[in-house]
Amino acid sequence: MFISPIIVFLGIAILNEVVARAIKKRKFWGWVVGIILFGLYIPSPFLPIGGFGMWALLTPGSRKAFGVGITPSNKLSKEDLT
């Protein structure tokens, strides 16, 4: 009974680390999993973290950096990201 919550919390901590590294490398799947993860934080005591994370990942600059909603006319160049 005591080990089960520890395994769940350890799994969440590892998932957070993997997603953070993927977002840092601008991986699209990291952006998607980050949205899901922050969405799970919203109905919990971690509401401020979830809200800030959702806001950060859904801003137009973040969406363009991860290739969300990109059309040939509004594609960012590598110079725009630096």
Query: Which residues neighbour 54 within 8 Å (Cβ) at sequence distance 6 or greater?
Result: 35, 38, 39, 42
In Å, what is the CA distance from 11 to each residue of 14, 15, 56, 76? Answer: 5, 6, 23, 35
For residues 54-71, give the mean pLDDT. 86
How many C-beta neighbours within 10 Å does residue 43 have?
9
pLDDT of residue 76: 59
For residues 3-26, give the mean pLDDT. 91
How many C-beta neighbours within 10 Å does residue 80 have?
10
Structure tokens at 31: 């952006």
Range of the domain at 74: 3-81
pTM for the full model? Answer: 0.73
46 vs 69 pLDDT, higher one: 46
Evaluate if residue 4 carries a pLDDT over 70: yes
Interatomic CA distance for residues 76 and 53, integer angstroms: 22
Q: With bands split at pLDDT 50, 70 and 90, how would you rate the model's confidence at 28?
A: very high
For the chain, what is the domain count? 1
Q: With bands split at pLDDT 50, 70 and 90, how would you rate the model's confidence at 81?
A: low
